[in-house]
Chain A
């Protein structure tokens, strides 16, 4: 009994930390409608900066109470200033961009901060000092409990209270709430919105920085803090309801306690549990526990343009290049062949996601789930049933398609950010299963020795196999887009009202499209597994989903050829950058930012525009 009580207290302490980060995220979203992927990076920077201030320079010399707490506060303020600076330089330009572009831009910031942190602080973990006045433990019900944790438990409600006062008792807060409801009205009343938005980013970033800085006495500061916290913070914000502070607090408590007790009750599925709770909440309450349905989309939103074929010249050039490549393949070395086979896989992976995002108008932040499902299906068939590669490649699309049917049934009911988050949650569930079900999947060690059949074992043969299957897949997807199914998919995206009024069952169309896309992602995943000879949980992980998203968005969502160009550009860029510099994340991030800011229609869109201008 006592142990349970202490466990509950530990849950409250982590809930507080989670709330600090999630509150910033939700405040920023509420006002600017931007889902800030880089929020975890700000948290990490808060921790690193606090470490620097506390252990180096004048504050460290001062030492004692002010040395520590001064450092923590200074770190939070610095991160806040950085958030404001980011808002002024980058985010301000993309307020009117589609949601996924905003995610992309903030993800670019994640990459940049990763490398900057590596440059500034190195790869070693950093350990901070204990907090003055809060060292040691107190005795609670006969068990020792760290004082610092007790302090953290209090921080959450105090911050919630202060934020409440700010939002309800100050002019600034009232303006913020007004801007949350109706941006245009507020600016029509003569309020300088820009200042308001910058201030909100300062506030949100400072909260993230504070959250990070307060971790200093608890855990080591590492370069992995950003991704670990951002996923949890997303979960909290989505469960609570985007933009709702009390919701975020409630959800943080829920998740904190879930972690604390999940470890005791279901140690094997703690990771799955969090995302399962999120999925259940979103299915029962699509806008989170305390969230309101989003208002009508801003009036500036235009109807998507007609999908247009690439200019004729460019199309011929592409086909010519493809033919030349197939002919030249026998004269290429092993390394280029491996690379080209990977490209083929990525093209199919991106094209499958494009079906959902482009014609379907749905957002998926967890497409890797189906890529991984195909890979694991092929790998498990080979490992446990000794099924040959051919069988694996044949069954993988069906396995992934079934997973798509299952997950899609939940996901396609939602739209926008909520749909993106639910797909993310399901992908994380799939990842957790692969990671924790060690007997079957090999856990973190993955499945090894997943090699192709003898005839396809050579690099050249495997390249041709990949090119053929991926070509077939892309072709089938393109046919679907131009077939009645594709028309129906676009119909429900363009006008749900009209689609319903002419007898189109939007749910069924979206659901089937989701599963169809998942099947092709599964084929890509199975090919990838045989190409690498192994399957790892990373195949299902967030970075892989983001890869697919980046490829589609780089290429341009509203062009049929976009995903192909995007896959080549993205995979090529990553590969080249990784070869020439250690700092490839930094460069990739900068390139993505440049693309989002200057080519919002993607590469294919930009090319088509360029072609039209010349024509």
Chain B
């Protein structure tokens, strides 16, 4: 293959929607880094001021600015990988650098090299492996999203169609109406599975009613939360479920274009999605005149470049638009002012993947999958000190203890669960009696935490919770975008205090500072990152006061 010139690449992308990220990735992969010359060319081709482009490129963790940067092994040092020897692996690999949790907590330790993912616990044992499939559900449990996923060949169009795939889309575009589709989704009780829990039907309805064209469907696949790896498995094994969900959303809202915003750390997933989109287009399921109807929907994959904040929907939209990925001030919300200022649905992968089964089986079926008053299912990414880590699709309302002990085999022999994180790390810790909680948003919030995107990391009684809390806070500090004061400075100060590097030596003063910081961050931060980060320090102090006292008063 000949090396494409800058001009050829500019030509290829200039008139495409959301061109900046794919153009930068092509240059990044061609040269192994982003050179000054390449960036100046991009600035000119896309008419972005060069200072702004330079600043934006430096925002992303994975854009290398020095020759050879892309080839340097990047080792995940997330909360679970640290427990599995990521530090030693980092030291033993030549030229290796660390990266935040890259979503392979069920099979540590992932290493990115160039554009592929390797997995292993030692430098000489790294290999390329597909994502682990979800463990089988216990007998008597009915799943929605995982129901067919373990079937061989499911990722292909034929495999997907063999169990009713695209039937929902076909029925919708040929026999139904947008409002009817929205009513079914609304009746099912489906709510945003990325963590915010906003009712999906209401969101679609708002976009359908909003003025402005073209409308856009964005699939938020920027699964950056530490301890979350559910979207990866859905996209790797059931890409057509996501595509069908997006096409249904497009039909229901009148949107004509869609983007899957995929996190950088899932390079193999990009190929799987592109292949599935090509298959669907060839079969008339995407593109102009879907299945002979007058419905048009063109779908694009755009890959992030390493920034947790881009999972926040307005940062994501800025990133797609090629702008500096700070969150936007809201209102206005994306449903009226989204991609390029036009009405936009932003849904999580899991939410979208649930749509086709709901339309096929009916809203009552989906509602009935939850326990008690809870509608539907939630995928929990369970990892850490537990015998069978993995993705579990649980009925909402399942007790946490049941998930850990009965579904996942419990703690290791001779160990007890000391604490778990919730919502990845954004819900802080639960420990002690609060481990007896049902897994639904309301019950978890009663304990001062949240279910969020459904990442739960287990830490047994051999772990130092100060160390765990410190690494979690360090992640938030690393990922804070820097726009608002409480988050930018607060995450840094909390990290320093948990590291024992700064802060009062008197326990009561230390606690005052950490409490005041937490209160102000929770109530005044501009987005969820700064609001969630102090749950780590707050729950640490709540459940482990003696360990905190020891940490603060020990000689530094």
A binds B: no
Residues in chain A within 8 A of chain B (CB atoms): none
Residues in chain B within 8 A of chain A (CB atoms): none
